[in-house]
Structure 1
Amino acid sequence: MKGSNYGPFTTHTLHTSGLTRQRLSSREMAHSLLMMDIRSEMSQGSVQTIIVVITAAAEALAVVTVAIAVAVTAASAVIVVVVVVVVAAATVAVVVVVVVVVMVAAAAVVVVAVAATVFTSSSSNSSSSSSSSSSSSSSSSRFSSSCNTYSVASTTAVVEREKKRERGRGGRR
Structure 2
Amino acid sequence: MTSSATTTPSASLHDDARRVLAAWDAPDAAQAKLRDAYLAHLGRFADGVWRSRREGHITASALIVDPTRGRVLLTLHPKVGLWLQTGGHCEAADATLADAALREAVEESGIRDLTLRHEPVCLDRHDVRCGGPDQWSVHYDVEYVAVAEPDATARISEESLDLRWFAYDALPEQTDDAVRTLVARAAVLLG
Shorter chain as normaliser: what TM range?
A: under 0.3
The structure that is helix-richer by fraction is 1
The structure that is strand-richer by fraction is 2
Q: Provide TM-score, normalisation by structure 1.
A: 0.14
The structure that has the greater radius of gyration is 1
